[in-house]
Amino acid sequence: MGFKLGIVGLPNVGKSTLFNALIQTAKAEVANYPFCTIEPNVGVVEVPDERPQIIAQREGAARVVPAVIEFVDIAGLVKNASKGEGLGNQFLAHIREVDAIALVLRCFEDEDIAHVEGTVDPVRDAEIVELELIAKDLETVEKRLARVDKPARSGDKAARKEVEHLKALRTILEAAEPIRKHTEELSSETLDYAEKVLFLLTLKPVLYIANIGESDLPEGKANLKTLKKKAEEEAIPLVCVCAELEAQLAELSQEEQIEMLAAYGLKESGLTKVIREGYRLLDLVTFFTVNEKEARAWTVPQGTPVVKAAGKIHSDMERGFIAAEVINFKDYLEVTSLSEARQKGRLRLEGRDYLIQDGDIVYIRFKA
């Protein structure tokens, strides 16, 4: 699997309530005080997708194995966390381990739940978290620069190249800008260095989750409009969720969930949208394999060659790869089964460099 979406935010914004509903367990303690979550909680969540069930029914597979994403509930950040406030660097280190950040922002009013900043302002809260991540990245860059500056001045070519990368990154961070907003102007070598050597936090893609109150459904209040404007300006996906409602839904049957959502004028749960957007944010695609035992959904990054996708199924398939029989799910719906697709010549034969497309049903030919 290996794809992690970190749930991040200030204390008391509803992160743990959201996480609990997300994985439909009570793993994360929920309490009305800062730093309720100390160690990150981890949950594996199915990606909503009816395609593997359809494939299983048509092909007579005994079971369905869906695609999944790992969600990590990270303890609340506070202003000056990068300087050690709250639990500071411990939290920032946990963020470093995820592939993308889901930033939960409080948009609901509740006098019984204290806000660490005193008032509800999701735009301000988003900026606080962003600035803490920027400050931590700047610290990382400056520490590395101090380490390689002397050998660079002594003529070390590798150190000189590092200094070039570090100065380009430092210029952006000193302007209080996240690295992800400047990927087009930075070289691929610098971006690769920022990701794989420095593990910079502000290079990670971000998703906003607006936590609204039940009385605000389905549209939210004025503070949500300002957050939407910020998200649009910065091209950040935004999902509206009522964490309290999602917690209630998690306790109901599927039929009861549909009825409750309809009562609030909603067609699907907020968590379904969060999972879908998280999957999209990580730029992932799903392909399928099927036999009599199971129909399985596999997750790979966009642009993955089929030979590498074969290796995800089994290393022997990658080593002994010959070719792949492929049909996309959309084309599959035009026939009754893979057997019919094969008879009608609808299965394509693809070589090792073919790039997996979302919805591909794949059969790997390989030699052991």
Delineate the domains of the chain, giving CATH numbers in brackets. 4-281 (3.40.50.300), 303-366 (3.10.20.30)
Query: For 325-345, what is the mean pLDDT?
Result: 96
Measured at the CA of 21, the angle between CA 265 and CA 301, to 5 degrees, comes to 95
State yes or no: 80 annotated in a binding site: no
Query: For 24-37, what is the mean pLDDT?
Result: 39
Percent of the chain with pLDDT over 70: 88
| Bridge pairing between strands 68-73 and 321-328 | unpaired
**203 close to 195: Cβ distance less than 8 angstroms:** yes
The reported pLDDT for the residue numbered 95 is 80
State yes or no: 15 annotated in a binding site: yes
> Helices 122-153 and 222-233 sit at what angle, rounded to 10 degrees?
30
State yes or no: 83 annotated in a binding site: no
**9 close to 77: Cβ distance less than 8 angstroms:** yes
State yes or no: 17 annotated in a binding site: yes
State yes or no: 13 annotated in a binding site: yes
0.85 exceeded by the pTM?
Answer: no
Task: Please report, for residues 4, 68, 226, 259, 337, the alpha-carbon distance to residue 218 in angstroms, rounded to integers and kept in the order given.
Answer: 29, 27, 16, 15, 41
The reported pLDDT for the residue numbered 114 is 62
The reported pLDDT for the residue numbered 244 is 87
In the block, tokens 């080593």 appear at 319
Query: For 205-214, what is the mean pLDDT?
Result: 91
181 HSE (CA, 13 A, CB side)? 14
The reported pLDDT for the residue numbered 202 is 95
